[in-house]
Amino acid sequence: MGSASARLLALLGLLQSRPDWSGAELADRLDVTDRTVRNDVARLRELGYPVHAVRGPGGRYRLGAGARLPPLLLDDGEAVAVAVGLRAATGTAGFEESGQSALTKLEQVLPDRLRSRLAAIRDASTTGPENTGSNVEDPGIDSGTLSAVADAIRDHQGLRALYRDEPVELEPYRLVSWQRRWFLVARSVGPAAGPGAGAWAPFRVDWLRLRTPGGRRFRPEPFPGDFSEFVVREVARTGWAVHARIVVDAPAEEVLARINPAVGTVEPLPDGRSVLVTGGDSVEVVAVWIGMLGLDFHVTEPPELVEHLRVLAARYARAVPG
């Protein structure tokens, strides 16, 4: 298989792609002998790559953690996918600079052929405005906070924080990205939790200000359901800056057939109508969502939404020739 250096890179790529290989499998994939595989493994070790072996018929090999970082080995599709993902990250509030920096570093370590392909994609494409669904800027996410929360989830370590300026102590379970925001599914504990101690709830990460030291380690409990579905359902009730319960003159089945699940939840009423529980970061956003239902509805609260709908009604009336 080609030159020795190309074969070493191919061997590294195989060892990175899955945790365990037999010598015979590697020899077959590289189209070389078992002895060549053993010699190439020895060369990788001399270069500082921790390749572990288990003696026996055929031998088995795995790439260990630590030592030097292996070179970036991506095929064409993988390289393009990573680059496109990083370009998307540059449009996410809080990750503009780090996303661009990572993209630049990726391009520097790719071979000329792939670097040229990524440059062609970059030069031939344009990114439109990211925040087209709201008149409120996307909240910035601190990468340090996101990393600290993820570490706490992994280690079953409690968190102490200020949440919208109120002290909380949380047992963190899962991060969920939804509607261009990050949410933490957690249980409230400690004296500040009050009668709601132990209850599951989604917490917006951009509203969290972590405090040190953190909380105590905890033994995780099974979560009753799907994390993503829980966030979508609960955020409609508690996770937006503006919340509304809208009575719709249609049964729940018809309303559910017309809305995106991200809009909110629907509750049936005894008289055949339904209630849409929804919200958003501004009354303008909520008004747009309920206006797209194409059904008659009634709003009594919050007052700022009622007033905004009055303004819209007058504006639309003026737009139609008398």
Last residue of a domain, one of 63, 87, 104: 63
Half-sphere exposure of 312 (CA within 13 A, CB side): 14
Q: What is the CATH number of the domain that holds 26?
A: 1.10.10.10
Residue 133 lies in a domain: no
**147 and 201 share one domain:** yes
Q: What is the pLDDT of residue 217?
A: 93
Residue 68 lies in a domain: no
Residue 132 lies in a domain: no
Better-scored residue on pLDDT, 190 or 295: 295
Residue 160 lies in a domain: yes
Lowest mean pLDDT among 68-72, 96-100, 189-193, 274-278: 68-72
Better-scored residue on pLDDT, 26 or 85: 26
**47 and 25 share one domain:** yes
Separation of alpha carbons 153 and 167, rounded Å: 19
Better-scored residue on pLDDT, 238 or 9: 9
Question: What is the average pLDDT value for the chain, to the nearest integer?
Answer: 81
**262 and 245 share one domain:** yes
Residues in the chain: 322
Separation of alpha carbons 246 and 320, rounded Å: 26
Task: Read off the pLDDT of residues 113-144 as tens digits, 9 standing for 90 and up.
Answer: 777 777 776 666 555 544 445 555 666 677 77
Q: What is the pLDDT of residue 67?
A: 46
**181 and 200 share one domain:** yes
Q: Which residues constitute the domain of residue 302?
A: 240-319
**33 and 51 share one domain:** yes
Task: Read off the pLDDT of residues 46-88 as tens digits, 9 standing for 90 and up.
Answer: 877 788 887 766 578 988 765 444 555 666 677 777 776 776 6
Count of structural domains, the chain: 4
**231 and 245 share one domain:** no
Last residue of a domain, one of 183, 211, 235: 235
Residue 131 lies in a domain: no
**230 and 244 share one domain:** no
**191 and 120 share one domain:** no
C-alpha dihedral (194, 141, 238, 308), degrees to nearest 10: 140
Residue 295 DSSP class: S
Half-sphere exposure of 261 (CA within 13 A, CB side): 8
Q: What is the pLDDT of residue 246?
A: 92
What's the order of all strands across the beta sheet hosting 242-248?
A: 264-268, 274-280, 242-248, 297-298
Q: Using CB atoms within 10 A of its CB, is residue 282 exposed (0-12), middle (13-18) or buried (19+)?
A: middle
Separation of alpha carbons 92 and 161, rounded Å: 24
Q: Is the pLDDT of residue 150 over 80?
A: yes
**86 and 40 share one domain:** no
Query: What is the maximum span of the chain, computed from C-alpha positions, in angstroms?
Result: 90
**257 and 186 share one domain:** no
Last residue of a domain, one of 63, 95, 111: 63
Residue 315 lies in a domain: yes
Residue 197 lies in a domain: yes
- Say if CB 67 and CB 48 are below 8 A apart: yes
Q: What is the pLDDT of residue 90?
A: 58
For residue 123, give the 3-state DSSP assignment. Answer: helix
Which pTM was predicted?
0.54
Q: What is the CATH number of the domain that holds 300?
A: 3.30.70
**90 and 32 share one domain:** no
**201 and 231 share one domain:** yes
85 token code pair: 């993902």
Better-scored residue on pLDDT, 143 or 294: 294
Residue 136 lies in a domain: no
Q: Is the pLDDT of residue 94 over 70?
A: no
